[in-house]
Amino acid sequence: MKKILLALTITLISSLAARSQEIPNIKNEAQLIEILKQEKFDIDANAKAVILYKKVETEILNGSFEYYVDFVAKILSDEAASKLSLVDGIIKTRYSVIGKISAETYNLENGAVVKQKIEGEDILRENFTEGIDVYKFNLPSVKKGSVIHYSYKTTRPNWLLVPDYYLQEDYPILYESYDLNLPTYLKYDKLERVDNPLFRAKYKDQLDTCSAGTWVEDLGGRGIHTLWVRRNVPAFKAEPMIASEENYKERIRIQIKSVIINGVERGYGDSWENYAKTFLYGNSDYIGQVFKGNGFLSDKVDELIAGKTTDIMKAQAIYSFVRDSFNIKHTNKDFDLRTIFKDRVGSENQINLLLAAMLRKAGLSSNPVLLNSKPGERLNAYFPDTENANDIIICVQADHKPIYLDASQKHLPFAYVLPNNYNGYAMLIDATSKGIELNPNDITEKSTTIVTLKPGSKPNQLIMKLDARPGNYEAYEFREKMFADTSKIRLAIMESLNKTSSGFTLTDLRVNNLNTPDTALKIHVEATLDLEDNQTIYLNPFFDKFFESNPFSASERTHPIEMDYLDDKSYVFSLELPKGYIVDDYPKSTVYKIDEMGHMTFKSMYAYDTTTNTLNVTNRFQNIESTYPASAYESIRMFYSKIVGEQSQKIAIVKTKEQ
């Protein structure tokens, strides 16, 4: 009897397990109604939406790459309804074909399923740039409780680049599959990043019950078929200060490394060095033009470097000319340096390639650097994921050191590239080509703010002077936002002043070097403050806080903390009180560190001189490492909380009998 019960129990458990692994089927009306009624899912009771299934099929056929997407999701919130109702990002180039786009929304009304489909006129085709269009559409009547479904197919001729497939989304996924069919004449590597161990199935039906698995089928001379299946994938949890979410999402990457043509195997992507030498340095239709004679540049280069006696001076003169004279314009035309130089327009990469060619024409050692900028994924030094290497900056050797340049950014000073370029492995392109490392630890952002408050000409009045010198990246962002608009600057300054104390009147505002990025940006502010007619006045001395709030609000952390650069922030405050007022109370001096090594340090020092009736405050924040493990999160979170707390404290000023 016990054996019978045990057998029945095992059978029941197996049945339930198999049932739990079933793929949601919206073509089954009874099942669709149950899904429409469902308000929560076991995978995540707080999910704003759940992806019921996502299927992607890829195939290389007759020299073309075909990509098919089938997507179904259950909407559980108004936020997700707004976000998922719009489908865009379907790219059409002059060489690709967009197959039939199908999409519909299902809602439950009075117990019956109502289906609404998009029509042809609902699909918008917008021109992104010359030769590139984007298809987009809005699913109809999407609301909380809806089920949405769409599918589409694209075909393009470039079969050497297989796009990455991400198994993880912003919402949890009940079931997904990635179906890849490649011909035998392509040799490739796979890079699989999955949180659950992948089960290597011998038979396809073994994938029916596993949470993460793959199955490979040899089709003989027709190719290799690989299928990946994943069930119950949690939503990716976004966290602040991550260089790229793509570094941590579950993902399948395929890299074509060689092609067999007429029985001869030809290397393509077996290493970064071979790829760079063959398809970049040796490509006269693209980057290879940088290394040609380019005689048409001679006159202009000679004019720019005339009288310049050092390599630094020559490099800066050429850089400033390209940065200030060329404008960004994206086209799908064939790359030609002469045309870019003549028309004074090009893409970001094309402008930088012209810069490299002009530097070389001046006799300087200059090379393009191929990389993937943040928030893109870090490049893998051992796995040449060439599709993700999309950005180019320039490296010039001057005074026996490498200097990195990006002339496509109008407000970026010489010898700087944006922090998002410091994304790990990159490829310096020349006849030999080699990998380099662009590490955020190699850049330090230094900023200083000095504030003084002194007695004014009127009784009970203070004159404030603020002098700020932002770091180069902060200055870049300031110029980008405030360029040639002093009204914006004035408004931002007043908002900042009013956070510390009401009653300020702005009397002078000067921004020096706003339009000259190679010279340090300087901001000078003057204002008056009438002291309140109270016995005790409270004043926050921090007119320029290091952090307005703690960026780390979550109680726990999954991923490393990755900062864009090292910081060195200084703030100096001096308050000289008029006759009849004294400082009654102020915070104590303190020093905070996240560890004994001082990887992050905050110093807050106070000194009150009763003789001159002056309070001096000095704050400094430094970090000597840009990346910290998740295990250090709690220490960092508490460290930032202490800084925010310290810079929120106020000093107490009281009236004395002597007026």
Quickly count: other Cβ atoms within 10 Å of residue 224's Cβ: 16
Structure confidence at residue 484 (pLDDT): 57
Average pLDDT value for residue range 196-219:
93
Q: Among 134, 192, 185, 179, which residue's Cα sits nearest to residue 159? A: 185
Query: Could you tell me the pTM of the whole model?
Result: 0.87
Mean pLDDT of the chain: 89
Report whether 229 contacts 210 (CB < 8 A).
yes
Q: Does the pLDDT at position 464 exceed 80?
A: yes
Q: In angstroms, rounded to a whole number, what is the distance separating the alpha carbons of residues 95 and 64?
A: 10
* Lowest-pLDDT choice from 5-9, 62-66, 140-144, 249-253: 5-9
Q: Does the pLDDT at position 252 exceed 90?
A: yes
pLDDT digits (tens, 9 = 90+) for 512-531: 999 999 999 999 999 998 87
* CATH class (in words) of the domain with range 26-261: mainly beta
Structure confidence at residue 222 (pLDDT): 83
Q: Does the pLDDT at position 186 exceed 70?
A: yes
Q: Does the pLDDT at position 445 exceed 60?
A: yes
**CA-only gyration radius of the chain, Å:** 31
What does CATH list as the number for 272-438? 3.10.620.30
Q: Does the pLDDT at position 481 exceed 90?
A: no
Question: 17 falls in which pLDDT band (50, 70, 90)?
Answer: very low
Q: Does the pLDDT at position 363 exceed 90?
A: yes
Tokens 């000597």 identify what position? 624
Structure confidence at residue 304 (pLDDT): 97
Tokens of 493: 């300054």
Q: In angstroms, rounded to a whole number, what is the distance separating the alpha carbons of residues 474 and 634?
A: 27
Q: Among 107, 117, 115, which residue's Cα sits nearest to residue 151? A: 117
Looking at domain 444-655, which CATH architecture does it have? Sandwich (2.60)
Q: Does the pLDDT at position 94 exceed 80?
A: no
* Lowest-pLDDT choice from 13-22, 157-166, 284-293, 551-560: 13-22
CA angle 254, 258, 263 (to 5 degrees): 135
pLDDT digits (tens, 9 = 90+) for 593-651: 999 899 999 999 999 999 999 999 999 999 999 999 999 999 999 999 999 999 999 99
pLDDT digits (tens, 9 = 90+) for 388-426: 888 999 999 998 899 999 999 999 999 999 999 999 999
Question: 659 falls in which pLDDT band (50, 70, 90)?
Answer: low
Q: Does the pLDDT at position 507 exceed 80?
A: yes
CA dihedral 543→549→552→554, nearest 10 degrees, is 170
Report whether 73 contacts 171 (CB < 8 A).
yes
Question: 1 falls in which pLDDT band (50, 70, 90)?
Answer: very low
Structure confidence at residue 498 (pLDDT): 63
Question: 657 falls in which pLDDT band (50, 70, 90)?
Answer: low
Question: 20 falls in which pLDDT band (50, 70, 90)?
Answer: very low
Question: 502 falls in which pLDDT band (50, 70, 90)?
Answer: low
Q: In angstroms, rounded to a whole number, what is the distance separating the alpha carbons of residues 113 and 91?
A: 32
Structure confidence at residue 5 (pLDDT): 38
Tokens of 651: 């000093």
Average pLDDT value for residue range 280-289:
91
Strand, helix or coil for residue 345 = strand
Domain boundaries, the chain: 26-261, 272-438, 444-655
Q: Among 391, 484, 395, 403, which residue's Cα sits nearest to residue 443? A: 403
Report whether 560 contacts 621 (CB < 8 A).
no
Average pLDDT value for residue range 231-250:
94
Q: Identify any residues that bridge with 382 across adjacent strands, giving them in sequence order.
A: none
pLDDT digits (tens, 9 = 90+) for 365-385: 999 999 999 999 999 998 888
Strand, helix or coil for residue 490 = helix
Report whether 546 contacts 569 (CB < 8 A).
yes
Q: Among 62, 60, 120, 123, which residue's Cα sits nearest to residue 90? A: 123
DSSP string covering 393-444, please? EEEEEETTEEEEE-TT-TTPPTT---GGG--EEEEE-SSS-EEEEE-GGG-E
* Lowest-pLDDT choice from 113-122, 469-478, 495-504, 507-516: 495-504
Structure confidence at residue 150 (pLDDT): 96
Q: Does the pLDDT at position 16 exceed 60?
A: no
Question: 200 falls in which pLDDT band (50, 70, 90)?
Answer: very high
Q: Among 54, 53, 65, 96, which residue's Cα sits nearest to residue 181? A: 65
Structure confidence at residue 92 (pLDDT): 83
pLDDT digits (tens, 9 = 90+) for 602-611: 999 999 999 9
Report whether 569 contacts 552 (CB < 8 A).
no
Structure confidence at residue 10 (pLDDT): 35
pLDDT digits (tens, 9 = 90+) for 50-91: 999 999 999 887 778 899 999 999 999 999 999 999 998 888
Structure confidence at residue 230 (pLDDT): 96
**How far lies 208's CA from each of 17, 31, 137, 167, 528, in Å?**
10, 19, 34, 17, 74
Average pLDDT value for residue range 180-206:
91
